[in-house]
Amino acid sequence: MQEISWKENLRVAWFGSFLTGASISLVVPFTPIFVEQLGIEGDQVAFYAGLAISVSAVSAALVSPIWGILADKYGRKPMMIRAGLAMTITMGGLAFVPNIYWLLFLRLLNGVFTGFVPNATALIASQVPKDKSGAALGTLSTGVVAGTLTGPFVGGFIAEIFGIRNVFLLVGSFLFLAAILTIFFIKEDFQPVAKEKAIPTKEVFSSFKYPRLLVNLFLTSFVIQFSAQSIGPILALYVRDLGQTENLLFVSGLIVSSMGFSSMMSAGILGKLGDKVGNHRLLVAAQIYSVIIYLLCAHATSPLQLGLYRFLFGLGT
């Protein structure tokens, strides 16, 4: 492909990834409140809110390898279109769910049909010149990060003014726009990899200099993200317990987004620091720091204090 083509694809893929990231994170701040509106009460609210968030991620993890195989066979663009159109229905349809079971069912389907961002990444990686791959993929990753950061804040703000169900309609519109942009503006000259040229997974892992390091990093990243995201489904309830009754959804969205903003602001600085003092030392220090901050979050006495601690926690992620 010509150079101009991958650059145009990068712009469209970035915007589509931004919309996808924003759409996924938009619903986080008010999920427990929506669960209450569907008739769930008491301690069951936190349980169902967490289940509604996690069921999508679990189903995505289980089904993603299948979509990956199909992408290798038919191309990344069809998978991006499939994900965008399917999530338009599964996310937009949440505006019309009558009970908690339909909420869980659509969230499950949303995870099954997700995959816009990884396929966009694979598409750009296959087209960009090798000497520019780092910059291109780094730029693309900022799309979903920016969307994920702004999503909770925007979602909480809109839900406060127009109601929660209208936010789901907005999310569906975002995802439909991402699909339409992909259909008309993404160009792909796809050629399937011949079976005899495909490298087995075992050979890929055996080619790594330190294969155990990859496993360790996977586990530590999993624990960090597990800890960072676990509060999301119940954060609005926690904020309410801290005395926030007015503008609850807006304040909750702002607190959720605060961690992402500090993480993005500090990533480059800490990366340079890691090059100087050693990344291993920095990882250990960040983990100890994160434990301390999370304990402080558990003892926050006001929404403002909780927001400050969540902002500081982002520095350790």
Q: How many structural domains is the chain composed of? A: 2
Q: What is the pLDDT of residue 172?
A: 94
Residues 61 and 121 placed together within one structural domain of the fold: yes
Q: What is the pLDDT of residue 282?
A: 87
C-alpha to C-alpha distance for 253 and 27, rounded to whole angstroms: 9
C-alpha to C-alpha distance for 177 and 193, rounded to whole angstroms: 30
Residues 53 and 170 placed together within one structural domain of the fold: yes
Tokens of 132: 């520019």
The one-digit pLDDT tens for each residue of the chain (317 residues) are: 444 578 899 999 999 999 998 888 888 788 999 999 999 998 899 899 989 988 998 899 899 889 988 998 899 999 999 999 999 999 999 999 999 999 999 999 999 999 999 999 999 988 888 888 878 888 888 888 888 888 888 888 888 889 999 999 999 999 999 999 999 999 998 877 666 667 777 777 778 788 788 888 888 878 877 876 777 778 888 999 998 888 888 898 888 888 878 877 887 788 788 888 888 888 889 889 988 998 999 999 999 999 999 999 888 87
Residues 186 and 272 placed together within one structural domain of the fold: no
Residues 119 and 23 placed together within one structural domain of the fold: yes
Amino acid at the residue 143 = G
C-alpha to C-alpha distance for 161 and 251, rounded to whole angstroms: 13
Last residue of a domain, one of 198, 214, 248: 198
Q: 3-state class of 317 per DSSP? A: coil
Residues 188 and 299 placed together within one structural domain of the fold: no
Residues 232 and 294 placed together within one structural domain of the fold: yes
Q: What is the pLDDT of residue 193?
A: 67
Which range marks the domain in which residue 291 is found?
199-317
Q: 3-state class of 209 per DSSP? A: coil
Instruction: Tell me the longest C-alpha to C-alpha distance in the chain.
Output: 63
Residues 242 and 189 placed together within one structural domain of the fold: no
Q: What is the pLDDT of residue 16?
A: 93
Residues 141 and 154 placed together within one structural domain of the fold: yes
Residues 265 and 154 placed together within one structural domain of the fold: no
| CA dist 264 → 84, 267, 278, 306 (Å) | 26, 5, 20, 19
Residues 157 and 14 placed together within one structural domain of the fold: yes
The CATH number of whichever domain residue 94 belongs to comes to 1.20.1250.20
Backbone torsion region of residue 42, taken as left when φ is above 0, otherwise alpha when ψ lies between -120 and 50, otherwise beta = left
In degrees to the nearest 10, what's the CA dihedral of 242, 315, 22, 183? -170
Last residue of a domain, one of 198, 230, 250: 198
